[in-house]
Amino acid sequence: MNKKLLKSVLFGSAIVLGTLASCEKNGGPNDSTDAASGPDNSPRKYVTLTAAFPDSETNTAGNGGTLGYALTLEEAGDASKELDIYANGYGLRSQRTARVQGSVNGNFLYNIQYTGVNGGIFNKYRVLGGKEFEDTKEELNVSGVLSTSPRWVKAAEGIGVGVKLEGASAPIDPAKVEAGTQTYEYVRGTVNIAIIDLDNPRVPNTTEFEFPFTQAEKEAGYSVGRVDVPVINGDKIYIGCALSKVDPTKAPVKTTNRQGETVWSWSNDAANIKGTVTLVVDYPSLANPKLIWSTQSKSSNNSYRTMTQYVGADGNVYQATATSGSQILRINKSTSDYDNSYNFDLKTALATSNPVAIKAWTYINDGIGIVLYTESGIEGGYVALVDLNAKTATKLTTDIQSDVDFSTTFGQFQNIGIAGDNVYLPLTPSGKDGNVYVINWKNKTVTKGIKLKGQAGSHYIGSY
């Protein structure tokens, strides 16, 4: 980071922090109004389910917002019960479906509103059961750093990290193309990062820097259009990147879009991408941005709505190339770089000849994870338990797994809730009924739990 940029970042951060750190706090009905809600130190009482629904204007799936409903573990596993979250759920604040995060024991939910006049507003909720959620009133406005459409996750217990990349471009002037004078001039774009204290909501640190491609990588046609899914491991933050590559030696290509408009683009060179890339910064200083590259994959790791990176029991980071790749890569805890001797490929583990796409996954414990995936040429959405140490996968069976409408549901899935030996997985094809499936990850059994009523254009997207 150059000195001129650093000076402007520090000045800008001081202004932002002064604005963001001020928030109204309410610790709940039995606490003083100026007390912070704090960390989740209470035993688990509930598993909260979330669902997305379409907007009324365009009927676009997921554009209407997010509903929540908290069940006891007994209720979640009871197949004789039924939940209609669309009639009885609690509306989490957001104009569109936002990325909801949950605390370790499910007693708090965290949400940053997505788009609209309140886009970028952080809210924290205490889970009280059923449709009862208490807004703790510890509100933050992070739009000045992360925009009104923030990308963020719980990067460690009690710590959120939001990221943004804007301004990356390789402009094309049609007149220069026609004249044969167009040259490739790539702008790396600017990365913004904000740390969010989830226990005592505030923003203790932010930063801004130019995306750290080397000059050679920049000139070779590499670009990153989005960063996402940060995870903290020790003194580092690892951030996924949507990587692409063009061939700067070839002239731009002219095509016509669906609206009949002329569109210019650089010649795609994805076949020559040298590997999956991750952005790394120091934590908590957010200094020393650099890139690490995997030689085991060329897929992007920025995800769509689901978290893709977890710190394993062995201290290493396990990173899925979701939501289109089939691999889980490893970042070594000691070197803070990819362990390029390690590669878990779900396609290989399942012994299938078809391309496989990991849509969502969660690391559970002891090298075991649960994966939601789709398989090319086969309709439906499927579930597997994976052993990252043995590099094996066990496909689990659900009675609705072959439903074609899982193609919408799995792509929007946000979180998979775990309590003890059980995974609580709400599975509903878009617009249809489904159930919570309770999966014992130790003995690999699947039990059908509470029935989940569907609604046109809507589906469940997570459990916490």
pLDDT tens for 201-253 read 999 999 999 999 999 999 999 999 999 999 999 999 999 999 999 999 999 99
What is the greatest pairwise CA distance in the chain?
73
Number of neighbouring beta carbons within 10 Å of residue 180: 7
Instruction: Decide if pLDDT at 21 tops 80.
Output: no
32-51 CB burial, b ≥16 within 10 A, e <16: eeeebbebbeeebebbbbbb
Which phi and psi (to 5°) does residue 14 adopt?
-60, -40
Least confident of 6-10, 214-218, 331-335, 373-377: 6-10
Four-CA torsion 139, 140, 146, 149, nearest 10 degrees: 20
Grade residue 35 by pLDDT with cuts at 50, 70 and 90. Answer: low
* Dihedral sign from CA coordinates of 26, 27, 32, 36: negative
Region of 377 please: left (phi>0), alpha (psi -120 to 50) or beta.
Answer: left
User: What pTM was computed for the model?
Assistant: 0.93
Percentage of the chain surpassing pLDDT 90?
89
Asked whether 112 and 92 are in contact (CB, 8 A), the reply is no
Number of neighbouring beta carbons within 10 Å of residue 30: 6
Rounded average pLDDT over 323-350: 98
What integer pLDDT is reported at residue 32 of this predicted model? 38
* Dihedral sign from CA coordinates of 251, 210, 229, 339: positive
Q: What are the Cα distances from residue 277, in Å, to 1, 2, 244, 273, 356?
A: 20, 23, 10, 10, 20
Going from N- to C-terminal start, the domains of the chain cover: 1-22+142-304
**What is the token pair recorded at 432?**
């249809």
DSSP assignment letter at 421: T
